[in-house]
Structure 1
Amino acid sequence: MIKFENVGLRYGMGPEVLRDLTFEIAPRSFQFLTGPSGAGKTSLMRLLFLSLRPTRGLITVFGHETSRLGRADLPQLRRRIGVVFQDFRLLDHLTTYENVALPLRVVGREEAEYRADVVDLLNWVGLGERMHVLPPVLSGGEKQRAAIARALITKPEVLLADEPTGNVDPPLARRLLRLFVELNRLGTSVVIATHDLTLMEQFDARRMILADGRIQIDE
């Protein structure tokens, strides 16, 4: 689904922060992206989401070589990728329900078409009773689950999650990971960026380890 070939990335005239990255994200796969702080995990996630272009090398997403795509072509590919940001990025003036439904509204879907799907998804992540409250009222864990629901509402083929358990306690972190595992079981490829080794040890999954700008795959 996603293929990197000798990819490198630098910001401006600085040194490469990522170099010689060659790997694939297979359909229905589950993997952790890990490494020390400053290793470049967030930069790699941005490359995966197509919000950055590589300085060199080739990235192929759903059969499209991204260097050959224009800016107008990228949104259609991005809609096939769900993203859970570390800082949630919920809109405080919208209810939980409205935040989750927003990606569907943006593409012109009518509420009558998607309301049942949004309600079902909020129930699935345990927010059925919180769908009509605003984000400032939600706890950190509830905001995280709302962000996950928003990423899933478009039924993405790939889900990228940047430190999705970094702001919650260990029991909730395990619950969130089980949601990702269940999503993967249903057919979505999952990439989770995390530095929590204890959490990773509880799940049998491929590890992509970033260090010094390079990647090592631990199957």
Structure 2
Amino acid sequence: MIRFENVGLRYGMGQEVLKDLSFHIPPRSFQFLTGPSGAGKTTLIRLLFLSLKPTRGLIRVFGRDISTIAPREFPALRRRIGVVFQDFRLLDHLTTYENVALPLRVLGRTDADYRHDVVELLRWVGLGDRINAFPPVLSGGEKQRVAIARALITQPEVLLADEPTGNVDPPLARRLLRLFLELNRLGTAVVIATHDIGLMDQVDARRLVIADGRVEVSE
């Protein structure tokens, strides 16, 4: 589904921050991306989401070499990849419902087309009673679940989550993990970037360990 072969990344003329990355994300798989703070997890998430291009090496996404893809085609590819950012990136002037529905509005769908799907998804993530709330009045855990729902509403083939439990307490972290596992059971490949060893120990899953700019795969 996503394959890296000898990928390197540097900014400007500096040293490579990521180097010789070779790994793949299989369809319907579940894996953690881990490593110490500052190791490059967020940068690697951005490469996976196609918001950064590598300095060298080959990245294939859904069977296509990204170096041969025209810029106008990238938005369509990104719509097949859901992403949950560390800072949520919710729009404060939109309600919970409107934030989740935004990707569908961008695609030109009407409220009548998607309202049922958005409401059902918000109920699934435990926010059925917060549909009309605005982000400033939501807790950190609620904002996190809105961001997750927004990433899921387009039914992505891959979900990337950058430290999705970093701002919540342990019980909610376990609840979010169950949501990701259920999503994976339904067929979505999931990549969770985290440094939370306790969270990872709850699941027998593949680990992509990043250190010194390189990735090692632990099955």
**Which TM-score applies when normalising by structure 2?**
0.99
SS at match of 2:216: strand
1:15: Cα distance to partner?
0.5
Query: Which residue of the partner structure matches residue 163 of structure 1?
Result: 163
Query: Which residue of the partner structure matches residue 63 of structure 2?
Result: 63
Unaligned runs of 5+ residues in structure 2 are none
User: What is the correspondence of 1:28-107 to structure 2 with a 5 Å cutoff?
Assistant: 28-107=28-107
What amino acid does structure 2 have at the position aligned with 1:27?
A: P
Distance in 1 between residues matched to 2:38 and 2:150, nearest whole Å: 27
Distance in 1 between residues matched to 2:149 and 2:216, nearest whole Å: 31
SS at match of 2:22: strand
Deviations 1:64-88 (A, max 9, x none): 1001112111000000000000000
Deviations 1:7-29 (A, max 9, x none): 00001111101000001100000
Unaligned runs of 5+ residues in structure 1 are none
Distance in 2 between residues matched to 1:9 and 1:20, nearest whole Å: 9
Distance in 2 between residues matched to 1:189 and 1:12, nearest whole Å: 32
SS at match of 1:210: strand
For the aligned residues, what is the CA RMSD?
A: 0.5
Distance in 2 between residues matched to 1:174 and 1:12, nearest whole Å: 40
Query: Which residue of the partner structure matches residue 132 of structure 1?
Result: 132
SS at match of 1:130: coil
Query: Which residue of the partner structure matches residue 19 of structure 2?
Result: 19
Query: Which residue of the partner structure matches residue 194 of structure 1?
Result: 194
Distance in 1 between residues matched to 2:116 and 2:136, nearest whole Å: 25
> How many residues are paired up?
219
SS at match of 1:129: coil
What amino acid does structure 2 have at the position aligned with 1:131?
A: I
Distance in 1 between residues matched to 2:184 and 2:120, nearest whole Å: 18
SS at match of 1:116: helix
Query: Which residue of the partner structure matches residue 218 of structure 1?
Result: 218
Query: Which residue of the partner structure matches residue 118 of structure 2?
Result: 118
Distance in 1 between residues matched to 2:106 and 2:14, nearest whole Å: 37
SS at match of 1:4: strand
